[in-house]
Chains A and B, each alone.
Chain A
Amino acid sequence: MSIPRHMVTGDPFPENIPGKIRLYSMQFCPFSMRVRLMLIKKKVEFEYVNINLKIKPGWFLEKYPIGSVPVFELDGKLIAGSLVLAEYVDEVYSKQEERTIPQDPYKKAKINMMISDHLAKAVGPILDRFYQREVDVKKFEKAIANLENILGSQNFFSGEKLGYADYMIWPWMRYLDPLIIDGVVGSGNYPNIERWKQEMLSDETIQKCRVKPETIARYRNSVKTGKPAYDQE
């Protein structure tokens, strides 16, 4: 499936189709990917409109002045925020008994804590490394060591089985690849993370959303030039 072109200032507004879900997104945005994963897992039909985050179209900023992605739109209803959206999609579009987010109050709370505490701590350092920013290497190593540790006592971040927390951190963890952020996967020093990553890559939903590491690497390298390669074949 070809990647929808990233809309820029001056591009005409793509008219909404009544009853059709639209996700404003950016192809390489990990927060957007969280929502794409949920929509695909629930087999929801949706269109996605990619936004060039460096040259945002005026109509996007009018609709959503904060200007970030992802944004979900359906018949005038707008919702934003990756975790708010992930929960919304899970609630509204799950077939009976097939909720991804655990429904037991304590299990749900624990998974939300995993995401907002442990996993959230890793997001910043991973992104810093991804965008090749001059930052404290120790912060990254500490975050990765923490994740390795968690996966030492349970198979997945969600518990014994692959679940919500694993999907929510996947968009960042997929950067741990010899072609992208080197030194973790393939180094032999993080066997739990390697095992987890292999399991994730065999998941049906993850496979449907997969972007080749080479493509991600090309985007990553292009960011430094100031002209991100959003649109690649």
Chain B
Amino acid sequence: MALAHPPHLKRGDPFPEKIAGKLRLYSMQYCPYSMRVQMILAKKNVDYEIINIDLLNKPTWFMEKYPFDSFPVLEQDDILLAGSLVIAEYIDENYSKPGERTIPQDSYEKGRINMMIEDKFTKAISAIYQGLRKKENWKENSNIHVGELENILETNKFFNGEELGYADYMIYPWLSYIGHQGIDDVMSTGKFTKLEQWLKTAAQEETIRKCDTKPEILGKFLTGYTTGTFDFDFNI
């Protein structure tokens, strides 16, 4: 039976030799930052290979070759980049057909969206992680910061504006957690009707569907993640 996904390489596993000219993404099957990149790669129809890394037990060669704080990591011959937003922008710039940029090109629109990602999204993501880890005040923080996202959707159907776009891709991985693992307390209050609607629509979008994880599998990952001891290859 074929693997559901590439296995997560860990300490002791040998370095998988690079193929000249081939784009490689060091990733983790359920990493939301990685999902951001994979959506843009999918949208641009880029050919690439995935090397999954066991983030709790990294191979020594990974730590030596790629000593970055940021993840995922993109490599192709001499090209080496780390961090979801840096990579997403690079892919969008380098691989888009003319006139088909995903990132808004109008300076003010781009500034507005980047502001949203750096400020509102970062805070909401932090609150969602607090919810996963059941940290003190997680409910209060979720209400405030996930509430801010609901507010954005009061004026526009999508985070990107009238149509689903870059901003929506950049937040989808974390919002897809809502409904799982106690974060459900945030959605089930019935307060975030716009977010619920957005989630239903976004989950059906072509690129998101290509990269999304089935809810039952995501649920298993999130349960394991919160206990800290975890087998990334549970679904192989």
Contacts and interface: CB of A to CB of B under 8 A. Distances in A.
B108 A79 contact: yes
Interface in A162-183: none
Contact of B82 (A80, A87, A91, A117): A117
B90 A85 contact: no
A91 B109 CA distance: 12
B17 interface: no
Contacts, number: 64
A137 interface: no
A116 interface: yes
B90 A109 contact: yes
**Prevailing SS type, chain B contact patch:** helix
B1 interface: no
A113 B79 contact: no
> Which secondary structure dominates where chain A touches chain B?
helix
A81 B118 contact: yes
A117 B94 contact: no
Contacts of A135: none
Given A105-B93, A109-B87, A112-B86, A88 B118 contact: no
A184 to B, nearest CB: 23
A109 B89 contact: yes
The 4 closest A-B pairs by CB, nearest first: A105-B93, A109-B90, A88-B111, A84-B114
Contact of B86 (A77, A87, A92, A116): A116
A83 B82 CA distance: 18
A110 B81 contact: yes
Nearest to A66: B119
Interface in B58-76: 68-70
A109 B79 CA distance: 10
A186 B203 CA distance: 58
A121 interface: yes
Given A105-B90, A106-B90, A110-B81, A87 B114 contact: yes
19 contacts: A66-B119, A79-B111, A79-B112, A79-B115, A84-B115, A85-B111, A91-B110, A105-B93, A105-B94, A106-B79, A108-B90, A109-B81, A109-B89, A109-B90, A113-B68, A113-B82, A113-B83, A116-B83, A117-B82
A91 B107 contact: yes
Contacts of A88: 107-108, 110-111
